[in-house]
Amino acid sequence: MNKKLAVTRNIAKKGVISMRSSSPASISVYLDSDVLRNPFQAILPPFTGKLKRHSLNMKLTEKQIEEIADNLDCGMRCFYNLKSGEIKTVLNFDTWIGADEEQWEDELKEIEDNWSDYFEFVGFESHESFQIMADFANSIEDKGIQNKLMYALNRPKPFQNFKWQIDNSGEVRQQWFDYKNMRYIEWIKEQIDLHSKDFE
């Protein structure tokens, strides 16, 4: 077994410290399976067991929170070192299918070797991302654009159709980016609060 596979399999056994909201989307529509299964999904798999308690709380700056939000939105995985306050970012191979893992080997090994020191910030699942798009569409005052966005969400391939409408909606495009970033930041702060309450 080569070194890279050994690292991958060891990490797969350990799980990951993370938290996830369970609130479902409130709008019932047809959703495609936009995410394909990744043959390398054994690398840093999502945590499905109990949270590991850690004696240290998180103290992140606004700049760090914004950095995590940007990276999660770009399809990365973000780990916060509870001792040093350092943020480690690695590629999410469930999103970037077929990407080269070798260049991330050092970061993966660092996280594996110091597993109890890290907390993973998780992004949105598909149904949560969909709900955010629906919330944004409902917030638009221009009824013409709002109707186009809602129609896009109720068609097959809602993510693709919503993106097309956003890219062709003038100033609304920047409004969408700002809104999505705000929701990411809120979600990251919620994870920080949940983590802190776990140790009260």
Q: Please provide the DSSP assignment of 82-140 as one string.
A: TTT--EEEEE-TTTSTT---GGGHHHHHHHHHTGGGEEEEP---HHHHHHHHHHHHHH-
**Residue 198 has what pLDDT?**
58
Residue 111 buriedness (CB in 10 A; 0-12 / 13-18 / 19+): buried
Could you tell me the sign of the dihedral formed by the alpha carbons of 180, 182, 185, 186, in that order? Answer: negative
pLDDT at 105: 86
> In this predicted structure, what is the pLDDT of residue 11?
38
Tell me how far apart the alpha carbons of residues 121 and 140 are, in angstroms, rounded to a whole number. 29
For residue 41, give the nearest of 95, 78, 107, 122 by alpha carbon.
Answer: 95
Tokens for 153, please give them.
Answer: 């969400």
Domain coordinates of the chain in residue numbers? 3-23+33-124, 127-180
Cα(119)–Cα(117) distance, rounded to whole angstroms? Answer: 7
- Tens of pLDDT, residues 96-125: 676 777 888 899 899 989 989 999 999 999
pLDDT tens-digit map of 1-48? 444 333 333 333 344 444 444 333 333 333 333 433 333 333 455 544
* pLDDT attached to residue 5: 35
Give the pLDDT confidence of 152-197 residue by residue, as tens digits. 999 999 999 999 999 999 999 999 999 999 999 999 999 999 887 6
Supply the DSSP symbol for 22.
Answer: -
Q: Read off the tokens for 62.
A: 């606004």
pLDDT value at 61 more than 90: yes
Report, as an integer, the average pLDDT of 123-134: 96
**Residue type at 89 in one-letter notation:** T
